[in-house]
């Protein structure tokens, strides 16, 4: 895979929303990305489990990083997520995004969210439009 240029990498890694939630971009390559988030008390819902929005945001951050890694602005056309398991406070989750299809100005990505034991917690899919 091709390297991500420094300007693109800096733009992706300086996301203010991710910084607010504590999401880190830990790996970035052309068409793929990995993000990480440790579940804190601040991210729990009223059931005492991580809010679905926090897990969605982790997966969406990996999706955004992977889809914008080519240096061309990519905007989401559609996304969906399936939640599979709950996790506890203190658990570190990882979202791994892979480009699965490119067709003209659109591309598709699959993102797997796993816990520290590499158990799948959620599956996210997204499609983007690449602007010129």
- Give the residue extent of every domain in the chain: 6-130
Q: Return the pLDDT at 1.
A: 45
pTM to 2 decimals? 0.94
Structure tokens given for 53: 């929005």
User: What phi and psi values does residue 11 have, to the nearest 5 degrees?
Assistant: -60, -45
Q: Are 63 and 78 in contact (CB under 8 A)?
A: no
**Hey, what CATH class is 6-130 in?**
alpha beta
Q: Return the pLDDT at 92.
A: 98
Q: Return the pLDDT at 77.
A: 97
- Cβ neighbors of 36 (< 8 A, separation 6 or more) are 23, 24, 26, 58, 92, 93, 94, 95
Q: Return the pLDDT at 2.
A: 61
Residue with structure tokens 């990996």? 62
Q: Return the pLDDT at 15.
A: 92
Which letter does DSSP use for residue 54 in this model?
Answer: H
How many C-beta neighbours within 10 Å does residue 39 have? 22
Closest among 90, 92, 89, 128 to 113, alpha carbons compared: 92
pLDDT average per 10 residues of sequence, the chain (132 residues): 80 93 96 97 94 97 96 96 95 98 96 97 98 83
Q: Are 70 and 31 in contact (CB under 8 A)?
A: yes
């Amino acid at each position: 895979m091709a390297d991500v240029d420094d300007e693109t990498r800096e733009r992706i890694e300086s996301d203010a929303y991710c910084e607010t939630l504590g999401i880190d971009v830990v790996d970035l390559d052309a068409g793929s990305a990995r993000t990480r988030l440790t579940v804190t008390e601040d991210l729990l819902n009223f059931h005492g489990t991580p809010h679905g929005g926090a897990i969605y945001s982790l997966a969406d951050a990996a999706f955004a990083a992977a889809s914008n890694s080519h240096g061309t602005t990519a905007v989401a056309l559609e996304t969906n997520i399936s939640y599979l398991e709950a996790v506890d406070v203190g658990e570190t989750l990882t979202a791994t995004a892979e480009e699965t299809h490119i067709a003209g100005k659109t591309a598709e990505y699959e993102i797997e969210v796993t816990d520290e034991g590499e158990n799948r917690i959620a599956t996210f899919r997204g499609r983007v439009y690449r602007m010129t």
